[in-house]
Every structure is written in structure tokens, then in C-alpha cells.
Amino acid sequence: MNPSPPCPHAAGSAQLADPFVRDTVRWLERAVIGLNLCPFAKGVHVKGQVHYAVALTDDPGVVLDLLRDELTTLVSTAAEVRDTTLLILPRCLPDFLDFNDFLADAEALLEDLELDGTLQIASFHPQFQFAGTDVDDATNCTNRSPYPTLHLLREESIDRAVEAFPHAEMIFERNMEVLQALGLQGWQALDVGAHEGKSAPSMAGEGAAQ
């Protein structure tokens, strides 16, 4: 499925955002759906209910403002139109520890908006690493994406998906087994890392292309 074309907030930003969206869709289709890491992802993807927003900035403060916009827009949009949002950060927070620290600010924003309990923020990062694992441990790949990414989810959608999937509590364990069997070389063979986006210029201070 081709994602809907980005709607720019700044001149030319749609063209700059396209490669990052393509890389993210490739990762979603080949890894998340292809390996069935999230059994709930295929339905919203096929129905075109995944919204992609690209933050063309290297300023975490600007990202936080854009996150506010995406959270309020998601909660005010019908789930049938937009069930979930991926906010992609190709130019910001490349260091995983910095990204981890930023997540506290993201959660605080969710509480300030009084949307905790209504929405959740999940996170993915190309350098993701579980505590106590080696950097080359393939199980880390369950949360590795082409770019730092914030996944905005509806609590109601999660609850419905869990009800429809009788063994939801086993997803994490199964994913660990799948990635261990696949191995790091197998993951790399999926070719789900950053591609075209690597050559895109920095847009520090820019807004988001959606």
C-alpha cells in the first residue's frame, strides 16, 4: 500500500519527507508485518489508517511542539480515518540515550494534555538496546526502526486488538524467539534500515511534513 502523500508545512518539505516515509513503510511491511512482530499492524496498514508525519528538524523542542500537534490531531480524528500515527525523526535524537531521555518529556506532555489513558506513546530507534543485552543482540531489533520514531496509539484500539488476539501476553516472548532464530545477519538481509533518507539535507528549525 502506498502511503498518502505528505502535506508540507514548509516549501519543499514534502519532497524531503518522502524518502523517510518510504523507508518507514518498507520497515513496517518487511519487519513489523513480515515477521509478524505486531499482529495488529497489518489491519490498520491495509486499511490506510496509519498516518506518517516527518519532523524535519534537529531541535528536540520543536519535535515536542510537533508531538503536541500530532497527539491532539489524532485524538480528534475518527479512528476509521486515522487509527495510529508514526512521527518520524530522521534529523533528531540520533543517540539512543538522548532519545530515551526525551521520552520522559513526551510522556509528561501526554499527561499535560490529559491524554494519558486515551493515547499511548511507543518508541523505536535504530540503536535500540534492551538493558543487559549486547549491542549486536538480534533481540534488540524488535524495537529498531530506520529512524527514531514515536508511535502514537489509541488505548481503545489496543484493548480491541488484545481482545481479538487470545495470546497477546505471549507476543513479546515470541518476538524474542523469532529474532534469535533470524539472527543479526538475517535482520540485515531484510534491508529495513535507512536508505534514501541518508542523503537528505538537514532542515533544522523546520516543521513537520505530514
Burial of 99 (0-12, 13-18, 19+ CB in 10 A): buried
- What letter represents residue 52's amino acid? Y
Q: What is the dihedral of CA 76, 71, 52, 180, to 10 degrees?
A: -130
Across all residues in the chain, what is the average pLDDT? 88
Share of the chain above pLDDT 90, in %: 77
- Phi/psi class of residue 114: alpha, beta or left (left: φ > 0; alpha: ψ in -120 to 50)? left
The span from the CA of 193 to the CA of 17, in Å, is 16
100-126 per-position pLDDT tens digit: 999 999 999 999 999 999 999 999 999
pTM of the model: 0.88
Where the chain has pLDDT below 50, the residues are: 1-2, 4-12, 199-205
Amino acid present at 63:
V
Q: What is the pLDDT of residues 62-95, one digit of tens each?
A: 999 999 999 999 999 999 999 999 999 999 999 9
Under 8 Å between Cβ of 84 and 49: yes
Distance of CA 6 to the CA centre of its chain: 16
